[in-house]
Amino acid sequence: MTTDLASLKQDLTRRMDGALETLKRDFSGLRSGRASPALLEPIRVDAYGSEMPLPQVGTIAVPEARMITVQVWDRSLVNAVVAAIRDAGLGLNPSGDGQLVRVPIPQLTGERRTELSKAAHKYAEAAKVAVRGVRRDGMEQIKALEKKHAISQDDMTRWHDEVQKLTDGYIKRVDDALVEKDKEIKQV
């Protein structure tokens, strides 16, 4: 355990950044009305006897606002890519055209937008819980240091305030990301 506030803060910041990155990755999988390569990146394709991430079997591009294309490198995998996209549960209907798979992005219905918004709120709440868990760990480390008399009570109070400020900043970043994603989802 460390008796240095800077290294404790650095560790907590690293862990809170991880929660924020996870949130951003989760948000990228939520489909808004616009086409985005991030929508297809998590999809896994049955290829060469194993499951491979889609970006390892083809190039994902967005030629226009409501269309994603996948240039499949091996023609024999086109049907597997089409099936993987269709079965991913994203409500997409891809079509193969030679080595190119076209994925039109349909307009979102009001009901689907509400579902996506709820999912975004759930992801944001999970990120806040993760950030608060990191804060709790930091607070426990600080209390343990004070109990061992490695730091004074005044230092403990000051460090608690620092950790709380850090936590508040990350919670605000999660809230800001949620507001942005919500606006994107509800944009017609």
pLDDT tens profile 110-152: 887 887 888 889 989 999 999 999 999 999 999 999 999 888 9
Number of domain units in the chain: 2
Of 82, 104, 126, which residue constitutes the final position of a domain? 104
Q: Are residues 160 and 93 in the same domain?
A: no
Can you give the pTM of this predicted structure? 0.68
CB count, 10 Å around CB of 48?
A: 12
Q: Are residues 154 and 97 in the same domain?
A: no
Residue 173's pLDDT band (boundaries 50, 70, 90)?
A: very high
**Which of the listed residues 65, 84, 104 is the one where a domain comes to its end?**
104
Query: How do residues 10-46 score in pLDDT, each as one tens digit?
Result: 999 999 999 999 998 888 777 666 677 878 888 899 9
Which of 104, 128, 145 is the last residue in one of the domains? 104
Matching residue, tokens 């390569």: 37
- Whether residue 176 is found in the same domain as residue 126: yes
Task: Tell me if residue 163 falls in helix, strand or coil.
Answer: helix
| Domain membership of residue 146 as a residue range | 5-29+109-186
